Amino acid sequence: MTSPAPTASAEAQSAPGVTRDHRSGPARRDAEATKAAIVRACRHLLARHAHTDITLKAVAERAGVSAPLILKYFGNKDALFSQVMNFEADVEAFLDAPLEDLGRHMVRHLLIGQSEHGADPILRIVFAPLHGEQGDILRANFRTQVSDRLTECLHGPDAGLRAELAVSLLLGLGVMYGIARGPHVRSAPIEEITERYGPAVQAQLTPGTLTG
């Protein structure tokens, strides 16, 4: 009597991003989780290396996948990097709050992104000088997808200036928290930083509100 065919191991069934396809039998990596891991890996490397120095192999190793799988999902390196240099997917959640609470929301969202997900929604712009012509694309995307989108949310005079000043405050906090890794900022509770820093951002969004 022959033994039944072995099933997928418990390790494979419980691995992150892997699901069991009961129709076809073998375990398969969830496509969306894999794509997200690849994008995170690419964002991580873009914050540390010039665009021209990053290989698909390096992205694959960082993401824990094979280089051919990246080609399967994204087509080529340029297509992958164009997605990573786009802020559209991030800005929706970044601006998803009523105007009167938007300053605190953006501060909280930025810090949670760095502390829990390893990347905030806008800090990529800091590394634009590393990327040559690709950096120009990054800057253009940032202006239209972040600064201009925020400007559209504001009322009153100098909306564009106030939007850029608000974003400047957020970038400064992001640099201190995620790049300079200031020990006092990083050890403070996120809600405390939000309550301290949020009003300064809010004062640019809705002038006259710089109060606790």
> 19 pLDDT exceeds 90?
no
The pLDDT value recorded for residue 2 is 44
Question: Is domain 88-205 classified as CATH 1.10.357.10?
Answer: yes
Same fold, 18-84 and 88-205: yes
- How far is 156 from 146, CA to CA, in rounded Å? 19
Q: Where are the domains of the chain?
A: 18-84, 88-205
> 187 pLDDT exceeds 80?
yes
> 26 pLDDT exceeds 80?
no
Question: What's the average model confidence in pLDDT over 169-183?
Answer: 93
Question: What's the average model confidence in pLDDT over 48-69?
Answer: 89
Enter the pTM of the model: 0.75
Under CATH, what is the fold of the domain 18-84? Tetracycline Repressor; domain 2 (1.10.357)
Which pLDDT band, with edges at 50, 70 and 90, does 4 fall under? very low
Calculate the average pLDDT of the chain: 83
CB 76 within 8 A of CB 162: no
Sequential DSSP letters for the chain: -PPPPPPPPHHHHHSTTEEE-TTT-SEEE-HHHHHHHHHHHHHHHHTTS-GGG--HHHHHHHHTS-HHHHHHHHSSHHHHHHHHT--HHHHHHHT-S-GGGHHHHHHHHHHHHHHHHS--SSGGGGGGGGGHHHHHHHHHHHIIIIIHHHHHH--STTHHHHHHHHHHHHHHHHIIIIIS--HHHHHS-HHHHHHHHHHHHHHHHSTT----
The pLDDT value recorded for residue 151 is 97
Q: What is the pLDDT of residues 81-107, one digit of tens each?
A: 888 888 988 899 999 999 999 999 999
